[in-house]
Amino acid sequence: MAGKTNPYKAALAQFDAAVSHMNLDPSTVAYLRSIRREVTVTFPVEMDDGEIRMFTGYRVQHNSVLGPTKGGVRFHPDVTLDETRALAMWMTWKSALMNLPFGGAKGGVSVAPQSLSTNELRRLSRRYAAEISLVIGPESDIPAPDVGTNPQVMAWIMDTYNQLKGGGHTPAIVTGKPIPLGGSKGRFEATGMGVMFTAREAMKFKGIDPSSATVAIQGFGNVGSMTARFMHELGTKVIAVSDVYGGIHNSDGIDIPKLIDYVKQTGSVVDFPGTEPISNEELLTMKCDVLIPAALEGQITAENAPRIQARIIAEGANGPTTPEADQILHDRGILVVPDILCNAGGVTVSYFEWVQGWQHIFWEREEVVSRLEKAMVSSFNATLEQYKRTGLSMRMAAYTLAIGRVAEAFELLGVFP
């Protein structure tokens, strides 16, 4: 269900709009707009029945001025080079906005992972890792989970990298690993927790009491389901959720812990007892205080933006709002907590995991959670200050802050040679 807008065009349009409000040297702008390195790999995987199938994957490193490039790996049929480029660029701004010592990257394979057996998925993950092993590294480019990948896939990527490098042990090569292999406590749920923290701060700013507010969530993968859990724990009523198979609605609030168990058993939110079916479009435009798109790009468009009734949109997904829709939402006074801020909890705890991996000292969950909350609230407040000071949208406020930081670092470094 990727939208019609090319995500890379949208990412460039957002960048161009942001720099039009800044006073940057044109050569700095040209540099920041460019992608440093992109690798396309086409590789064979043996299926369980002996057939050999070819797959295409990517790793794109947008910018590494602030540190090693960082970003997830997506397994989804709609993965393209342009989508991966957009996601890599968004990672650069996200890391910079969060003051993390990382640049931005993204990877992906065009595949429907649910259609593979566990053994096929393992062979595909390991072969993809081998193909990109030339460009990744614990000090150069560090993968993590994204749509369609999970801690198990990270374990395979880490082990493949380590085997190819002589069988050593380099936990900092990936983040989002299983905890027994050096993963961080709190990483699995970090993105959803961060979405909740920023949605909570946005409600505070808008004078909405979270304990009497309502929220609708599009998507029930890792980000959507964990966001639902933390919004529910905050006391906010989750009145609608959806996944690729359909949506459900109950205006009195859905019992999220029970729904998470139900999804574990059935694989979908559809037909959860005590709810009515609802379409994707109905969910996006329903009456609620907070709308959380937590699926894919291009969901909030010029077509549906005029009908959105939420007062706050908290972007759990990357790139869910097209640039045309953004303008409409801004004109309508709907507060958008932009993706590079809202969903930055994942990469923030990835940073904590990377630090723990280097030190071989592991933190308790409470420490992870309290550092995450501090980081999310502080970046939310910095963005809100910029928004109030400049009159720009929250997205442009976040972009101008983030781009300004990367630009400053670039100018300090200068150009090699």
Which residues are tagged catalytic? Answer: 106
Could you give the CA distance from residue 207 to residue 214 in angstroms, rounded to a whole number?
14
At 315, list the tokens: 């972007």
With CB under 6 A, what is the number of residues at the site for ligand GLU?
Answer: 11
C-beta of 5 vs 350, nearer to ligand GLU: 350
What's phi and psi for 60, nearest 5 deg?
A: -120, 130
Q: Does position 347 bind ligand GLU by CB under 6 A?
A: yes
Applying the rule CB under 6 A, the residues between 310 and 329 that interact with ligand GLU are 318
Q: How many CB atoms lie within 10 A of CB 413?
A: 10
> What is the per-residue binding string for ligand GLU in 51-90, x denoting contact by CB under 6 A?
-------------------xxx------------------
What residue has token string 């300004």? 404
The one among 84, 175, 198, 356 contacting ligand GLU by CB under 6 A = 175
Q: Rule CB under 6 A: which of 214-233 touch ligand GLU?
A: none
- Angstrom distance (rounded) from CA 227 to CA 180: 24
Determine if 110 is a binding residue for ligand GLU (CB under 6 A): no
Instruction: Name the residue nearer to ligand GLU (CB basis): 295 or 308.
Output: 295
Among 11, 66, 136, 144, binds ligand GLU (CB under 6 A): 144
Nearest-approach distance from CB 33 to ligand GLU, in angstroms? 20
- Residue 188: phi and psi, rounded to 5, are -55, -40
Q: Which residue among 6, 110, 350, 383 contacts ligand GLU (CB under 6 A)?
A: 350
Cα dihedral sign for 156, 162, 351, 393? negative
Of 3 and 68, the one with the shorter C-beta distance to ligand GLU is: 68
346 binds ligand GLU (CB under 6 A): yes
- Find the length of the chain: 417
184 near ligand GLU, rule: CB under 6 A = no
* Lateral strand order in the sheet of 37-46: 37-46, 52-63, 103-109, 69-75, 141-145
Q: Which residue number, 86 or 328, has a Cβ lying nearer to ligand GLU? A: 86
Position 394, amino acid? M
Complex with ligand GLU: residue 104 or 247, whichever CB lies closer: 104
Nearer to ligand GLU, 213 or 347 (CB): 347
What's the count of helices (H) and strands (E) in the chain, helices before strands? 14, 12
Whole-number Å distance between alpha carbons of 53 and 320: 32
Q: What is the identity of the amino acid at 242?
A: S
Per CB under 6 A, the segment of 3-11, 22-30, 197-205, 346-354 that binds ligand GLU is 346-354
| Chain centre to alpha carbon of residue 208 | 26
What are the residues binding ligand GLU (CB under 6 A)? 70-72, 144, 146, 175, 318, 343, 346-347, 350
